[in-house]
Amino acid sequence: MKPDQQRGGVVPLAARTSRLRSSAIGSVLRLAESPGIIALAAGSPARELFPNAAVQEVTDRLLRDDPDALQYGDTAGLAPLREWIATRSGTRLGTDPRPDHVTLTHGSQQALDLICKTLIDPGDVVVVDRPSYLGALQVFRLFEADVASIPLADDERLDALSTALRGGLRPRFLYVVPDFANPTGATLSLLQRRRLVELADRYGFFIVEDDPYGELRYDPYDRPGLPALASLSDRVLRLESFSKVLFPAARLGHVTAPAELAPVIGMFKQAADLGNSGFIERVVLELVTRPGFTDDLVQAARLLYAQRRDALVAGLRRYFGDKLDFAVPGGGFFVWARFPDATNADDLLTRALTHRVSYVPGTDFYAAAPDRATLRLSFSAVGPDQLTEAAHRLYLTWAERQDGVVR
């Protein structure tokens, strides 16, 4: 460091650091870890579903038999795993991606970063739903995007979006979680999907389809879901992740991009980290190609999470009655709720922690003009009895505020 950079004891930082907010996700995860707290804050998968024994078996075998298990690999990702992903997309989604249009990323979170590097200059417009995934908002802000939040899932005909586009809004891309969104649990209807790709075609923007929860569908879990946006248009960059169904410590996600973007994303990936862990990629490949392994895991996850969702929903209904509004999500990890009496969920959080229950206030999920009466409750990592207890604790927290008791 140059001596003149240390004047006054303050190290000058790059201008973009002024856009960093104290990490909302970081503080959420810390809350979740505090002892004695029933954590409805972090959206972590159920540890009961982690395939520890299978990972151990595969790891032992690879280390014994594969001389390249610990070697550098292809920076865009292990070729046979990209082939498996392309084939599975074909059978699951009816898309027909080429394996070289798939880039493996460090979680789907990194895919968001690489996409912004590829498409966003400062001031470019990115459209997001209102509310939207806070981890995505964080990335878009760092790239100095002009984030336009427009209701999508709540707007059956996407009138607000078409009006904005007709009025001259020109996004580089629109970011959306079409199935069981974080934080709302909402799913785009078929009509909304069709409208969205129509608008993308007419106004020439890309769609970033982030789909970590699509397979975690609970009502009914044995029927296919709605078509992926990627199956309706070739203007879609589709993100998926092994975090929710396999295990998040793999830090393995992927982006499937249109032909003109995939090589650029691949170059940014190379520059960022020379590729994911080839060892983890091999472990994941071995697991997912075992006959029936992924389908069994998805099936077990659907049953377990549906039970947890039902427990939280029943607890909230039992304790709050009509004092809390929420829709029952058909999948995913979250119940998105709102106090109809406009109780401020930011203010209530400290008191909730004294009652040993955590949640994420809705504020951080809004790019602008937050509705502070909203909150996100994750049911994924907590057992049914604890979820009932959490609903009770939340109610006590809220009721105490009503009585004006300060502790």
Q: Which residue has the tokens 């020379």?
A: 274
Q: How far is the CB of 332 from ligand PMP (least distance, A)?
A: 8
CA 390/CA 385 separation, integer angstroms:
9
Q: How far is the CB of 329 from ligand PMP (least distance, A)?
A: 13
Q: How far is the CB of 239 from ligand PMP (least distance, A)?
A: 7
Nearer to ligand PMP, 112 or 165 (CB): 112
Nearer to ligand PMP, 75 or 380 (CB): 380
Yes or no: say if 341 and 323 are a contact pair by the CB < 8 Å rule: yes
Nearer to ligand PMP, 165 or 337 (CB): 337
Nearer to ligand PMP, 153 or 165 (CB): 153
Q: How far is the CB of 167 from ligand PMP (least distance, A)?
A: 28
Nearer to ligand PMP, 343 or 378 (CB): 378
Q: How far is the CB of 210 from ligand PMP (least distance, A)?
A: 5
Q: How far is the CB of 135 from ligand PMP (least distance, A)?
A: 6
The binding site for ligand PMP (CB under 6 A) comprises 43, 107-109, 133, 135, 177, 182, 210, 212, 241, 243, 248, 253
Q: For the beta carbon of residue 37, count every other beta carbon within 10 angstroms.
A: 18
Nearer to ligand PMP, 108 or 386 (CB): 108
Nearer to ligand PMP, 89 or 241 (CB): 241
Residue nearest ligand PMP, Cβ-based: 107
Q: Which of 252, 308, 298, 314 is nearest to 278 (CA)?
A: 252
Q: How is residue 236 written in tokens?
A: 């879609």
Nearer to ligand PMP, 251 or 393 (CB): 251
Q: Which of 203, 383, 377 is nearest to 307 (CA)?
A: 383
Q: How far is the CB of 264 from ligand PMP (least distance, A)?
A: 21
Yes or no: say if 175 and 134 are a contact pair by the CB < 8 Å rule: no
Nearer to ligand PMP, 97 or 253 (CB): 253
